[in-house]
Amino acid sequence: MMDIGSIPVRVIGPRSQPEEHDGQVLSYIDMPSEMWSYRPPELPEPDAVQNLAAARDAMQWLQQALARYPHCAAPQLANLTALDDDNRGLVNQILGEGEVAISFNGELRARTQEAVLAGVWRTLYLDDADRIIADILEVADAPHVVRMAAAGKREIVARPGDDSADLMNALSLLVELRSHVQDYELSGKPHVINLTLLPLSDADLVFLDEQLGRGPVDTLSRAYGKCQVISTQVPNVWWVRFYNSMNTLILNTLEVIDVPAVICAAPEDLQDSAQRLAGLLTPYWPDTNATRYECRICWYLYDPAAGDPLEQIPAGTEFRDLPEHWRCPQCDAGQFAFLPAGA
Ligand code: FE
C-alpha cells in the first residue's frame, strides 16, 4: 500500500536535509551530474488498474484541463485529497517527477512537484506536523504557490546601515532595483540584473540579501542545468542562480518579474503534455480515447470532453454531432480529414 506521505514531492537544496547533532553541515563531493532528459514514467500492469475509477476520473479531468488550457490560459485545479491509497499510487506513477520542485514556507506550507508532463503540477499543502491537508492537481504555466510570493510587502529602502563600510556597489544596485520594480508595476516590463558581471564584495551580497529579505518560495529547476529560484520579501523580485554540473554558481541574477521564466512551462509544452498524456493513458483505459478524433493533416485532436470553446461547441459534444460547418480549428481542413484518435 502506498502511504500518502510517499507522493513524489521532494525538494533538494539548502535546509532540505536534517541537521547533524554536532552542528556539522553535510558536504557533497563534486560530481558531474547527469543531464536531465525526459523519461517515460514506469507504469503498473493495465489489468491491475481497471478498477481504480477515481484515478481514472482524475486523469480524465487532467486530459480535459490540458485541452481547455490553451483556450482560456487560466489555471485549472482539481482536488485529489479524497483519493484512497491505491488510486493515489496510480496517479503518482502516471504523473512521475518532472523538472521543477518548489517549496513554499510562509504562513502556509506547501510542496509542489512538476509532473513529467510540463505544466502539470502537484501541490501538497501541509500542516505544522507535515501532515497533508490538501492534495491539488494543477494545469498552469506556473503553480499557484509561486504566484503567492507576490504577497510580500517589503519596499526597497536603500539606506546604508552601521556596517556599510565594506559595501562597494550594493547601495547603488538597490536604487537601480527600486526603479525597475516601480517600472514593472507601471509598465509590466521585466528586468534582469546580472550580479555575476558586477564587482560585488561578499558584504554587498549579504547586504542585498538582508535588504530584500527571504520570501516563501524556494524552487529547484533541472530544466537547463540546475537553477535555483528564490523569492524575496519585495513583490516581483527574485534571486535566480544557475549552477553548472559541478554545483558551482555560474550565473547570479536578480529578476524583476511576477514569475521567472525558468519556472514557467511554455504554451507549446502544455500542448505537448496533452498529447503525451493521451499516449500514456491509452494502454490502461483504451476507451478513454475512443471518441476523440485527430486531424490527419495537422494532428489537431478534437476531444468531446472539451468541445471547441472558440466555435462555441459545448463540452460533451461527440465528433459525429458537430455542425457541418465545423472545420479543423488549426488547419481549416474539413471533417473528412479526421479519423478516430489512435486508429
Ligand atoms: Fe488540422
CB 124 within 8 A of CB 67: no
The reply to whether 88 and 156 lie within a common domain is no
The reply to whether 50 and 157 lie within a common domain is no
Q: What are the cell numbers at 283?
A: 494502454
The reply to whether 121 and 191 lie within a common domain is no
The reply to whether 227 and 205 lie within a common domain is yes
Q: What is the pLDDT of residues 25-60, one digit of tens each?
A: 555 545 444 555 556 656 667 677 777 889 989 998
* CATH (domain of 90): 3.30.1370.140
* Residue 329 CA, ligand 1 centroid: distance in Å: 7
The reply to whether 137 and 178 lie within a common domain is no
- Answer yes or no: is 280 within a domain: no
The reply to whether 62 and 133 lie within a common domain is yes
d(CA 132, CA 40): 27
Residue 139's beta-bridge partner residues? 76, 120
* Residue 95 CA, ligand 1 centroid: distance in Å: 28
Q: What confidence tier does 20 reach under pLDDT thresholds 50, 70, 90?
A: low
Q: What is the pLDDT of residues 178-207, one digit of tens each?
A: 999 999 999 999 999 999 988 888 888 998
- Answer yes or no: is 283 within a domain: no
The reply to whether 162 and 220 lie within a common domain is yes
* Per-residue model confidence (pLDDT) at position 343: 44
CB 112 within 8 A of CB 9: yes
Q: In total, how many domains does the chain have?
A: 3
**Residue 240's domain spans which residues?**
151-256
The residue written with cell numbers 517600472 in the block is: 183
The reply to whether 49 and 122 lie within a common domain is yes
The reply to whether 86 and 173 lie within a common domain is no
* Residue 298 CA, ligand 1 centroid: distance in Å: 4
User: Considering the entire predicted model, what is its pTM?
Assistant: 0.70
* Residue 191 CA, ligand 1 centroid: distance in Å: 38
**Which residues are within 5 Å of ligand 1 (an ion), measured at CB?**
295, 297-298, 300, 328, 330-331, 333
* Residue 303 CA, ligand 1 centroid: distance in Å: 13
- Answer yes or no: is 266 within a domain: no
Q: What confidence tier does 220 reach under pLDDT thresholds 50, 70, 90?
A: very high
Q: What confidence tier does 124 reach under pLDDT thresholds 50, 70, 90?
A: very high
